[in-house]
Amino acid sequence: MKSPTARSTNANAPERVVENRLPWTREKLPRQRRFSNRTLSPIILSPAMILIVIFVYVFIAITVWVSLSNWGTLKIDMSIRQPLGATYGQMFMMPRWHANLRNVFIFTALFLTFSLAFGLLLALLLDRKLIGYTIFRNVFLFPYALSFIVTGIAWRWIFNPETGINILIDTFGLNKLIQAFGGPPLHPGWTTDPTVLFSLNSWLGALFPPIKSMSIQLGIPVALIPVVIAAAWQLTGFAMSMYIAGLATVPQELREAARIDGANEFQVYTKVVIPQLHPVTVSTAIILGHVSLKIFDLIFAMTGVGPGFATDVPGIFVFEQTFKATRYNLGAAASVVMLLLVCLIIVPYLWRNLRKR
């Protein structure tokens, strides 16, 4: 893929080479032949690769070992716990872990839907290049530059049930309207609300009886919704940027051709432009999806584990079990499950992207 920039550097190339020629043609020619260039490349790369192998792969292997070990207190004990994988068994019996898995899947699904849909919408609206284009775009992307901790603190204040959004609900007369229709005034507890919406337990329990005895509700925890909004606020701009970059690669001729064939402006987008954006959607979904499976800082700063573990996620579970409760094997087991979840979406993606070259 040759972009216009690549071609222009090419055009300038001969001049630069001539400029820089003298220093290396005069001296030092014989000295360089000690290693051939082919063997030099892996030699120079080796320190970085060795470190990555240690800090990523060996460390993961050690963590897997810890998750299988007896190391459940401050005292290091790397002997293998019998029966093999008992810590995993113990973890998957914990209601808190069930809540964790429910939360992270619900969070990922809602967050991806919101940020991809709004990112695409904003990119398409900005594609009309109306006045204020640059301001809109820069403001929408701005939250991406902030730390999750800052985002969490700001939104915690906004979703505080005593103030923030709830004041706005009163100010705009929404509650008066609801009361006029005989409903109770709206006063959501947001992050303090332990209820779970759309619980599927009884319905799923009919299909799989064990679900009936589960102690957690399978549905959408209310307290998780503000977190989804905060995360979408921060990362919708990223999705928008990816889509803007994607839109620029859809050739104008394609749109013109569709218009000549009688498509109206709406059809040009739905039938021609949006299908072309499919690869962008896949990449963006995978990048945002792996961020949301790993989510930790935002929830840590905004709600913590939440009422009845309504906003607890594996990232926080690992942190608390390992560094607060010093149950190292349990924390390690949870982190291995996190890693597997991330691998599930990242490995096929890397495979596809890197094999093509």
- Exactly one of 199, 214, 294, 307 binds other proteins (CB under 8 A); that residue is 294
C-alpha–C-alpha distance, residues 155 and 146, integer Å: 13
Torsion of CA 127, 135, 299, 340, to 10 degrees: 40
Q: Give me 107's structure tokens.
A: 């969070």
Report if residue 196 touches other proteins, rule: CB under 8 A: no
Do 104 and 313 touch, CB atoms closer than 8 A? yes
Report if residue 52 touches other proteins, rule: CB under 8 A: yes
C-alpha–C-alpha distance, residues 200 and 204, integer Å: 6
Closest contact distance (angstroms) between CB of 38 and other proteins is 6
Closest contact distance (angstroms) between CB of 280 and other proteins is 9
C-alpha–C-alpha distance, residues 227 and 151, integer Å: 10
Q: Round the CA-based radius of gyration of the chain to a whole number and report it.
A: 27
Torsion of CA 202, 204, 105, 139, to 10 degrees: -70
- Exactly one of 97, 111, 114, 155 binds other proteins (CB under 8 A); that residue is 155
Report if residue 38 touches other proteins, rule: CB under 8 A: yes
Nearer to other proteins, 212 or 352 (CB): 352
Report if residue 91 touches other proteins, rule: CB under 8 A: no
| Three-class SS state of 181 | coil
Q: Applying CB under 8 A, which part among 79-87, 179-187, 219-227, 347-355 lies near other proteins?
A: 347-355
C-alpha–C-alpha distance, residues 151 and 353, integer Å: 32
Q: Which of 348, 106, 134, 331 shows the shortest CA–CA distance to 228?
A: 106
- Exactly one of 32, 179, 264, 270 binds other proteins (CB under 8 A); that residue is 32
C-alpha–C-alpha distance, residues 356 and 6, integer Å: 20
- Exactly one of 86, 109, 154, 274 binds other proteins (CB under 8 A); that residue is 154
- Exactly one of 84, 117, 146, 177 binds other proteins (CB under 8 A); that residue is 146
C-alpha–C-alpha distance, residues 25 and 43, integer Å: 25
From residue 218, give the alpha-carbon distance in Å to each of 43, 89, 188. 53, 20, 21
Report if residue 249 touches other proteins, rule: CB under 8 A: yes
Q: Please report, as residue ranges, which positions from 200 to 229 form the binding site for other proteins (by CB under 8 A).
A: none
Report if residue 60 touches other proteins, rule: CB under 8 A: yes
Nearer to other proteins, 42 or 209 (CB): 42
Nearer to other proteins, 104 or 196 (CB): 104
- Exactly one of 74, 93, 180, 248 binds other proteins (CB under 8 A); that residue is 248
Report if residue 179 touches other proteins, rule: CB under 8 A: no
Nearer to other proteins, 306 or 314 (CB): 314
Report if residue 254 touches other proteins, rule: CB under 8 A: no
Q: Give me 342's structure tokens.
A: 């991330």
Report if residue 162 touches other proteins, rule: CB under 8 A: yes
Closest contact distance (angstroms) between CB of 13 and other proteins is 5
Q: Give me 46's structure tokens.
A: 């080796």
Nearer to other proteins, 206 or 350 (CB): 350
Do 334 and 318 touch, CB atoms closer than 8 A? yes
Q: Which of 248, 231, 249 shows the shortest CA–CA distance to 302?
A: 231
Closest contact distance (angstroms) between CB of 217 and other proteins is 26
Q: Applying CB under 8 A, which part among 87-95, 109-117, 203-211, 342-350 lies near other proteins?
A: 342-350
